[in-house]
Amino acid sequence: MKRAIALPLAMFISATGLSAVSARAADEPRHTFECDTPAGHFAYWERTVSGAEIEVSGKVTVNDLLTDKKWSPTIFVSLKAGSTKKGPFGLRVFAVMKTPEYLFLELLKVGGRDPIGLGMIPRTKEPVPFALRLDASGLLTVTVAGVDASTPLGDFKPEMLQLSCSTGDFEFTDVTVKEKSP
């Protein structure tokens, strides 16, 4: 006959070497940025980066789109080089107020922009997942709403990650940044 032994949780954790604190410490910090701007204005959040490989992931929710004569409601998730002014490279999501039921997706690359996938997705109240991955060879891959696009950036060495928005209310959640040195 087998016997089950009931240990207090603290003894189990201690005996197995597990700890809620150490399990959390291994996770990357998660960032949130409530980017709520009036029409024709912008806001941003920045963080330095320096790894040879960088992966940024998170979600963005479109809460409200505003109308301005010059500026479209837009978000950016981008990598920049500080002193050389290279970039931004990454993701641009924007709305056109004539068709506010869609969000338009662009890859920011050397020399311009390209549509990501079909170039648009339906606008919903649900968070839109995104990721940027820069590998050691200089290939930037952007994923948004499950669609990928890639571009070579050559010897680009980013110094800054920037989340930004304009002319609307957007919320970035669960943003993580992983860096790997050479």
Asked if pLDDT for residue 114 goes beyond 50, the answer is yes
Task: Kindly indicate the confidence band of residue 113, based on its pLDDT and cuts at 50, 70 and 90.
Answer: very high
Asked if pLDDT for residue 26 goes beyond 60, the answer is no
Query: How much is the average pLDDT of 159-169?
Result: 97
Task: Kindly indicate the confidence band of residue 181, based on its pLDDT and cuts at 50, 70 and 90.
Answer: confident
Supply the pLDDT for residue 15.
Answer: 39
Name the average pLDDT for the chain: 87
Task: Kindly indicate the confidence band of residue 3, based on its pLDDT and cuts at 50, 70 and 90.
Answer: very low
Asked if pLDDT for residue 58 goes beyond 90, the answer is yes
Domain 28-180, classified CATH 2.60.120.200, yes or no = yes
Question: What residues contact residue 7 under an 8 Å CB cut-off, 6+ apart?
Answer: 15
pLDDT tens readout for residues 60-89: 999 999 999 999 999 999 999 876 677 899
Give the rounded percent of residues in the chain with a pLDDT score beyond 90: 75
pTM: 0.83
Query: How much is the average pLDDT of 88-110?
Result: 96
DSSP the chain: --------HHHHHHHHT--HHHHHHHSPP-EEEEEE--TT-EEEEEEE---SEEEEEEEEEEEEE---SS---EEEEEEE-TTT----EEEEEE--TTSTTEEEEEEEETTEEEEEEEEEEE--SSPEEEEEEE-TTSEEEEEETTEEEEEE-TT----EEEEEEESEEEEEEEEEEEEE--
Supply the pLDDT for residue 28.
Answer: 79
Residue spans of the domains in the chain: they are 28-180
Supply the pLDDT for residue 5.
Answer: 39
Asked if pLDDT for residue 174 goes beyond 90, the answer is yes
